[in-house]
Amino acid sequence: MRTPTTIAALAAVALLAAGCGRSGGGDEEPTQGTAPKQAVSADFGDLKDVCGPGSPTKSPAQGVTKSEIDVGVFSDVGFTKNPELVNSAKVFTSWCNELGGIKGRKLVPHIRDAKFMEVRQRMLESCKQDFALVGGAAGLDGMGTKDRLSCLLPDFPAQVSMINNNGSDLQIAQTGGASYNRYEGYWEWLLNDAYPGSKGSVGLIAGDSPVTKGLGGQAQESIKAMGGNLAYNDLYPATGVSDWTPYAQAIKSKGVKGLIFFGDFTSLAKLEQILTGINYKLDWIDANNNSYLPQFIKLAGPSLKAQNNFVDLSGLHPLETASDNAATQKLQALYKRYAPGADVTSVALRSFSAWLLFAKSAATCGDDLTRKCAYEAARKETAWTGGGLQAPVDLTKKDAPLDCFNVEKATPDGWKPADFKPNKGAYRCGAPTHKYVGNFGKPLTLADVGKSMNDFK
């Protein structure tokens, strides 16, 4: 039987698998007192008229009436207490509905709080009510994939975790194909460009959960394929570690020079404090992009002067350089307007991009809004950027590698772009690719539940 502590730790490691600028697009800040808000612009970066009025007359699909669209948003907020996906849904739907909705239909978001262990229950509820899933994520998302496919529910997720869900049918994710290493360009940069001396002494440590074990296996294959040597490979208990000293000493004794960490950033900060305390400095640490938060900077503290922490944002424009990017400025302005005080994180950026994709795709369907129409419209995007929030992704290809990456470095003063030699704005594109050859499982298909695209309406 899992105790609450065990579940909490599992949630932390599972959720990894998956961080103020001036207004952009013509938005104004809310006015004080009783004066009304200034008019909000319907543009977002290079996307024009994302939402707006209309006069729909039909109710062509489940969750779609003449006036509303029911949308499901998965989250583990009841367990993690992290409201980033709830906030993203609130900001987008508030903005869109103020503009008139999607061609006149208002968005009605239903937060499907899986509380980590209740994914299937929430999915069955969503199957009965929602038109689509948009902008959400759950640590154990694969527990609901069969039910989602059985009820033919399309998914526009912020991120995905489990292998059987990553790249599953009727899903449009923006984080690269499931058959490819999404960190290939980043790790190649670390091993071959930035720290070539570390290539023979790479270490890997992961929280002991099914999700991170799968990630660890894929990482081992990728590192070996690029000529690296895995000198250290270990798991730590998902229930937590009271003393990281034995792990730090093992890393030192193995002579590890570069460390890939699949776990929660609180644990990583504790490990780095011990490493620094025993006077052992690695060339680099891959802190994973869920560490791309101010909280990690605070927790890691003085160890950031000794250890080089990097994360790959996989093509998301950095928040700290928002002044260089109109779309990021626009997003920050919308958060100030509709969710003042809420943090904008890397997951929130992915979520908002998913909302934008759904809105643009659904709008093309007009009065005859069906699941198939919205899904197929999204699949036609050859260079989706979320209005400029991210590097272009070709969504016409269901299983394809990411072309661009960008690297951030943790400093005592916060996260900053690393010197990774970008060649296309904030990104380095033309990244090398690696397609997995090992048996790590596969995403579920409609055929697995006795369905086909002919059933999708």
271 and 203 housed in the same domain: yes
Least confident of 85-89, 327-331, 437-441: 437-441
What letter does residue 189 receive in the DSSP assignment?
A: I
| Domain boundary, last residue among 352, 375, 397 | 397
Q: Is residue 17 part of a domain?
A: yes
229-239: pLDDT as tens digits: 999 999 999 78
Average pLDDT over residues 390-414: 96
Residue 12's nearest CA partner among 240, 342, 256, 311 is 240
Q: 155-156 and 230-236 as β-strands: parallel, antiparallel, unpaired?
A: unpaired
Q: Is residue 435 part of a domain?
A: no
Q: Is residue 454 part of a domain?
A: no
* Cβ-based neighbour number of residue 53 at 10 Å: 10
| Whole-angstrom distance, CA of residue 113 vs CA of residue 73 | 8
How high is the pLDDT of residue 148? 98
Q: Is residue 414 part of a domain?
A: yes
- What does the radius of gyration of the chain's CA atoms come to, in whole angstroms? 22
Residue 429 scores a pLDDT above 90: yes
How high is the pLDDT of residue 38? 54
Residues of the chain with pLDDT > 90: what percent?
86
| Whole-angstrom distance, CA of residue 129 vs CA of residue 334 | 28
| Whole-angstrom distance, CA of residue 205 vs CA of residue 259 | 8
229 and 345 housed in the same domain: no
Give burial (CB, 10 Å; 0-12/13-18/19+) of 412: exposed
pLDDT band at 24 (very low <50, low <70, confident <90, very high): very low
Residues of the chain with pLDDT > 70: what percent?
91
What letter does residue 7 receive in the DSSP assignment?
A: H
Residue 400's nearest CA partner among 189, 175, 171, 216 is 175
Average pLDDT over residues 239-262: 96
How high is the pLDDT of residue 21? 30
pLDDT band at 37 (very low <50, low <70, confident <90, very high): low
75 and 191 housed in the same domain: no
* Cβ-based neighbour number of residue 283 at 10 Å: 20
Q: Is residue 366 part of a domain?
A: yes
262 and 207 housed in the same domain: yes
How high is the pLDDT of residue 12? 52
| Number of structural domains in the chain | 2
**Do residues 142 and 159 lie in contact, with contact meaning Cβ atoms separated by under 8 Å?**
no
Cα angle at 422 between 179 and 356, to 5 degrees?
A: 60
28: three-class secondary structure by DSSP: coil
Domain residues for the domain of 157 are: 4-25+41-176+325-397
Average pLDDT over residues 332-338: 98
Torsion angles phi and psi, residue 279, rounded to 5: 65, 45
52 and 165 housed in the same domain: yes
Residue 309 scores a pLDDT above 60: yes
Q: Is residue 446 part of a domain?
A: no
What is the pTM assigned to this prediction?
0.91
3-state helix, strand, coil in the chain (%, to 5): 40, 15, 45
Average pLDDT over residues 26-36: 35
Least confident of 5-9, 271-275, 434-438: 5-9
245 and 309 housed in the same domain: yes
Q: Is residue 445 part of a domain?
A: no
244 and 282 housed in the same domain: yes
Residue 87 scores a pLDDT above 80: yes
**Do residues 43 and 64 lie in contact, with contact meaning Cβ atoms separated by under 8 Å?**
no
- Domain CATH code at residue 304: 3.40.50.2300
Average pLDDT over residues 379-390: 98
390 and 407 housed in the same domain: no
What letter does residue 316 receive in the DSSP assignment?
A: B
123 and 14 housed in the same domain: yes
Rounded (10°) CA dihedral 355, 360, 105, 24: 70
pLDDT band at 159 (very low <50, low <70, confident <90, very high): very high
How high is the pLDDT of residue 15? 52
Q: Is residue 97 part of a domain?
A: yes
Residue 290 scores a pLDDT above 90: no
344-354: pLDDT as tens digits: 999 999 999 99
How far is it between the farthest Cα atoms of the chain?
70
For the record, the structure tokens of 215 come out as: 């990630």
- Taking all residues of the chain, what is their mean pLDDT, rounded to a whole number? 91
Please, which residues bridge with residue 402 across strands?
Answer: none
DSSP E strands, 25-156: 68-75, 106-113, 132-134, 155-156
Residue 405 scores a pLDDT above 50: yes
Contacts of 15 (CB under 8 A, 6+ apart): 76, 80, 137, 139, 161, 290
**Do residues 165 and 138 lie in contact, with contact meaning Cβ atoms separated by under 8 Å?**
no
142 and 206 housed in the same domain: no
- CA–centroid distance for 355 within its chain: 13
414 and 301 housed in the same domain: yes
20 and 140 housed in the same domain: yes
| Domain boundary, last residue among 382, 397, 412 | 397
pLDDT band at 27 (very low <50, low <70, confident <90, very high): very low
